[in-house]
Structure 1
């Protein structure tokens, strides 16, 4: 993971550079030499924030249709309660 640091001025002058850098790791944006903001890719933000996808969104992702899922059958034995 690459960490990039840009001044606010550099960020304003070359936003596309910051976006490309954010795809490789966090981009720290400084104001007067002190870190003020962090730019992250949406994937990294979701991972860090713990945002969960809905089952529908997860199942509709391209490439998941080819995953085989054949869970074993569940064997449950039920005994009647002894009420005496």
Structure 2
């Protein structure tokens, strides 16, 4: 994977170069020296955007499980005085 960096001016003047570079890897487009945009091929975008489920989806209950009762047993905790001898 090749990473290419272009200024906004270079991108505007030679869009075809940026598109060709995006086939080899991400193209960072800078604005006043700072990264402002990233150009990706559609294949790379789809690969990144379809990667797995979100954390919310993973933590959600599976469909059809409905409500269930949960009654954990009580725990008795005894406090003992400290032995300072």
Unaligned stretches of 5+ residues in structure 2: 52-85
Deviation at 1:30, TM superposition (A): 0.2
Instruction: Give me the whole-angstrom Cα distance separating, in 2, the residues matched to 1:48 and 1:28.
Output: 16
- 1:1-59 CA-partner distances (Å, limit 9, x unpaired): 000000000000000000000000000000000000000000000000017xxxxxxxx
> Which consecutive aligned stretches of 4+ in structure 1 deviate over 4 angstroms post-superposition?
none
TM-score, normalisation: structure 2:
0.59
Instruction: Give me the whole-angstrom Cα distance separating, in 2, the residues matched to 1:40 and 1:22.
Output: 5
Instruction: Give me the whole-angstrom Cα distance separating, in 2, the residues matched to 1:37 and 1:50.
Output: 20
Partner of 2:23: 23
3-state SS of 1:24 partner: coil
TM-score, normalisation: structure 1:
0.60
Instruction: Give me the whole-angstrom Cα distance separating, in 2, the residues matched to 1:48 and 1:8.
Output: 24
Instruction: Give me the whole-angstrom Cα distance separating, in 2, the residues matched to 1:5 and 1:49.
Output: 22
Aligned length: 52
